[in-house]
Amino acid sequence: MNSKTEIGIVYHPDFLLHTNRHHPERKERLEAIMALLNSENLLSRLEQISPSPAVPEEVTAVHTAQHMANVREMVERGYDFLDGGDTYLTPHSFDVALLAAGGALSAMRAVLDGRLRSCFSLGRPPGHHAEPESGMGFCLFNNGAIAARAAMKEFGVSRILFLDWDVHHGNGTQKAFYLDPEVLFVSIHQSPAYPGTGQLYETGGGRGAGYNVNIPLPTGCGDDAYEAVFQEIIVPLAAAYRPEVVMVSAGHDTYHNDPLAGMLLSFHGFAGMARRVREIAETYCGGRVVLFLEGGYHLQGQAEAVVTVLSELGKWGRPVKDEEVHGVRPILGSPRKVITSVLEHALLLKK
């Protein structure tokens, strides 16, 4: 496997069809990523995969058939929103959501069948807020959860480290796997923030007790807090779990200029997280990493963050862009206290 094809992206122009120019989750998010990759001639370093839509049985491995039927029916009837106003619909939304889920499946299969070491699905609409019985938070179907469930069925994977570094808690992914030890779900998120879930005591249930780890950081945290989380929590958890693949809900709304959040990561912070993920994967699972695009609403900031993550995973040596970040000061809590509390709740580290 040469350096060009060790890392790939999943992309389809139809991902742009689900859009609303008045909404933060719009097609320009993806256009900015592709424009940056093009302008720096980086697409030649990536295997580009064009996905097919997920089929109903792949979606209903995570979601109820009723939820899938509801989304289809509301689109066909011309509804503007799935919910009270967060999650918009267009005439294309059902088909594009199936394509985004298919993109996540394509990325997973490319990694688990050995074609690629890592792959980033740039599908949208995003997915991590979509719960088994409902969509919410800009999300229709949970792309990453659909890929994780298929990985278990098709490849016999029984230990998936599923990391969510979006600024908002991945409530949908948590709910999908709350009872399953086959998925170690770890969410680093701003708290308090939408959707209000992701508390320390939410640690899994039944056979999955201890396999759900929430790290609710106070608003205002920056690179140092996230590095400490990786060093003190995520790296030891990975050592205890020894994953067969690492999956990432890669939201970039932790960027310090993001309009919808209050965290203060720089591009060096994103590079550090990607580097840690790569090191974990290289140590335990042959470098296998699958990523799914989630939030991130500063167009240029998200694009630069995505390319920074790809560079770290691909070991391109692309310089990390420097920016001055002002006001890194956690409020409404201490990241050190959160880390200590998480370690006290992390049952997997006590086994």
Bridge-partner residues for 119, per DSSP?
A: 8, 290
| CA distances from residue 130 to 17, 171, 261, 310 in whole angstroms, order as listed | 20, 8, 19, 25
Q: Which two tokens stand for residue 108?
A: 């997973």
| CA distances from residue 101 to 47, 94, 211, 322 in whole angstroms, order as listed | 19, 11, 24, 34
Question: Do the Cβ atoms of 63 and 54 come closer than 8 Å?
Answer: no
Omega within 30 of 0 (cis) for the link into 51 = no
Question: Do the Cβ atoms of 29 and 296 come closer than 8 Å?
Answer: yes
Question: Do the Cβ atoms of 239 and 201 come closer than 8 Å?
Answer: no
Instruction: List the catalytic residues.
Output: 129
Q: Tokens 């970040």 correspond to what residue?
A: 325
Cβ count within 10 A of residue 114:
10
> Taking Cα atoms as reference points, which of 237, 247, 240 lies closest to residue 293?
247
> Taking Cα atoms as reference points, which of 230, 216, 213 lies closest to residue 269?
230
CA angle 311, 45, 13 (to 5 degrees): 95
The DSSP annotation for 62-101 comes to TS-HHHHHHHHHHHHTT-SBSSSSSSB--TTHHHHHHHHH
3-state DSSP of 200-264: CCCCCCHHHCCCEEEEEECCCCEHHHHHHHHHHHHHHHHHHHCCCEEEEEECCCCECCCCCCCCE
> Taking Cα atoms as reference points, which of 251, 263, 266 lies closest to residue 192?
263
Report the SS3 class of residue 309: helix
